[in-house]
Structure 1
Amino acid sequence: MSRLQWSDALSLDMPAMDDGHRQFVQLLDLAHEASNASVVGHWRDLIAHTTRIFEREDRWMHATRFSSDHIHSTQHQVVLQVMGEGLTAGESGQLGPIRHMAGELGQWFANHSQSMDAALALHLRRVGYDPATGVLCMPDDIALQA
């Protein structure tokens, strides 16, 4: 399976999202390249970063009453659970699950970013939400969706 590389195709034209996604791709690449002695540490770093970007997206969805928030957040929870299972296996000396997940996670992330995250970015722009500041420019649009 080919490894995920950052490209313009992954950009959502929203720096607050793109910066976190770009770092995700970098951390995933480090996990791919890691030696057996360091792969668990790199996987742990990837989980910590992924947790932060998922929590941030979940806050944005909640703040703007994003209609697909439950589906999107559930996918975040499932991915973090599976990544955690890989970490548990790795900490017990079984590196195969992490190695396998690192290969699969890139494809999942590209699909998630270009579908669910793209829809979220479009929604945030439509309602005038600035993820960097948390300022909502068109709160009336949010009230109409409720």
Structure 2
Amino acid sequence: MSVTIHSGFPVLGMPAMDESHHRLADELNAIGLVRDQEFVEWYPPLVAAIERDFREEELLMEVVGVESFQAHVEQHARMLSALHHAAPRVQAGEVALGRQVVAELAEWLRFHIASMD
């Protein structure tokens, strides 16, 4: 299952954030293309990439003084919680769950970027 989300992400006109979103889209697209046997190995690095992306974005937003900063951080924390919650089950071989979480993450990101970034 391929997520293919580049075209679905809004461009914000902030080069650092837009580039970060495109890197994340690349990661999501790549994991969507791997075979089930590889998915389990790809999931932890994907979560790490998302953590890194969120951390970088939060630092940038804090420096810029984004008004909705706290709400934004809370949204990131909720998504990371869902990813971490699914991780043990993905590692145990529940690839369908992992793929579902990745697909939901992609949908969430489209909304999140459009409404909060």
Q: Could you say whether these structures have the same fold, taking a TM-score greater than 0.5 normalized by the shorter chain as the test? A: yes
Matched with 2:114 is 114
- Between Structure 1 and Structure 2, which shows a larger proportion of helix residues? 2
Counterparts of 1:1-146 in structure 2, within 5 Å, are 3-7=3-7, 10-117=10-117
Task: Say if 1:27 and 1:42, in contact at 8 Å, map to a contact too.
Answer: no
TM-score by length of 2: 0.87
Q: Please identify the structure whose Cα radius of gyration is greater.
A: 1
CA displacement 1:102-131 (0-9 Å, x = unmatched): 2211111111111111xxxxxxxxxxxxxx
Structure 1 vs Structure 2: percent identity of aligned residues? 27
Q: Which has the higher contact order (CA 8 A, sep 6+)?
A: 2
Q: Which amino acid in 2 is paired with 1:6? A: H
**Structure 2, gaps ≥5 residues long:** none
Q: Find the aligned partners of 2:35 and 2:9 in 1 and give their Cα distance.
A: 29
Separation in 2, partners of 1:46, 1:106: 12
Coordinate RMSD, CA, aligned: 2.0
Matched positions, count: 117
In the TM superposition, structure 1's runs of 4+ consecutive aligned residues that sit over 4 Å from their partners are none
> TM-score normalised to the size of structure 1?
0.71
Task: Could you tell me which runs of 5 or more consecutive residues in structure 1 were left unpaired when the two chains were aligned.
Answer: 118-146
